[in-house]
Amino acid sequence: MSRPFSRRTLLVAAGALAGALAACSPGEDGARSGSGEYEFTEPTPPATVLAEDQRAQAPAFSGELLDGTPFDSSSLAGDVAVINFWGSWCVPCRVETPEFQAVHADVAARGVQFLGIDVKDQRQMAVAFVERLGVAYPSVFDPRGEVAMAFRGFPANVVPSTILLDRDGRVAAVYTGQVRGADLRTAVELLLAEDQR
């Protein structure tokens, strides 16, 4: 009787996946696809943002906040936006979230909106998570990861992940994995400074 997956099969599959991910590198247009819409190519280095000519328009999305009220991404228009994908089950999220809240408290009055996207979670657990950590910004309840799928090619299985949008609604940075508060603050300040040039 043979096992469904041998160690060799799993190693070959892992190698193929790694090769596919390595192949996702930006072309001349960075995050742009041929249509000018956003398509993920690779993470942005920490504390940096894409050059303005490499940014592409973020997709529209909608959903329901943890408190049950409807949300539409059009409400982010005109502000710098920090979109953070998290889950109450995610250990790095427990470290990252208080740092995000601290940055949010410092920059919200300057035209920066924060939005959490709670994925692969139970609403009750997510509500307890944000209450325990004192998170003041809203989160969309997205257990099936539909918002992540709207961002073409975005690695929806990498949690936490963070997307920054500039004031024109273009994707200015994509960070996969935990983001330090100091790095997030630097990137947000870079986007805010663009209005002063």
Q: Residue 197: count other Cβ atoms within 10 Å of its Cβ.
A: 4
For 85, the enclosing helix (H) or strand (E) is strand 80-86
Residue 157 pLDDT level (bands cut at 50, 70, 90): confident
**Domains identified in the chain and CATH numbers:** 40-196 (3.40.30.10)
Q: Which residues of 27-42 are buried (b: 16+ CB within 10 A; e: fewer)?
A: eeebbbeeeeebbbbb
Which has the higher per-residue pLDDT, 34 or 78? 78
| Residue owning tokens 């998570």 | 129
Residue 77 pLDDT level (bands cut at 50, 70, 90): very high
Would you say how long the chain is, in residues? 197
Quote the DSSP letter at residue 137: S
pLDDT of residue 156: 83
Mean pLDDT of 17-46: 58
Among 27-41, 100-114, 130-144, 154-168, name the one with the lowest average pLDDT: 27-41
Query: How large a percentage of the chain has pLDDT more than 70?
Result: 82
Which has the higher per-residue pLDDT, 6 or 72? 72
Spatial distance between the Cα atoms of 36 and 39, rounded to a whole number of angstroms? 9
Residue 180 pLDDT level (bands cut at 50, 70, 90): very high
Please check the confidence at residue 29 and state whether its pLDDT lies above 80: no
Residue 96 pLDDT level (bands cut at 50, 70, 90): very high
pLDDT of residue 195: 77
Write out the two tokens for 27: 């072309």
pLDDT of residue 1: 44
Query: What is the largest distance, in Å, between two alpha-carbon atoms of the chain?
Result: 69
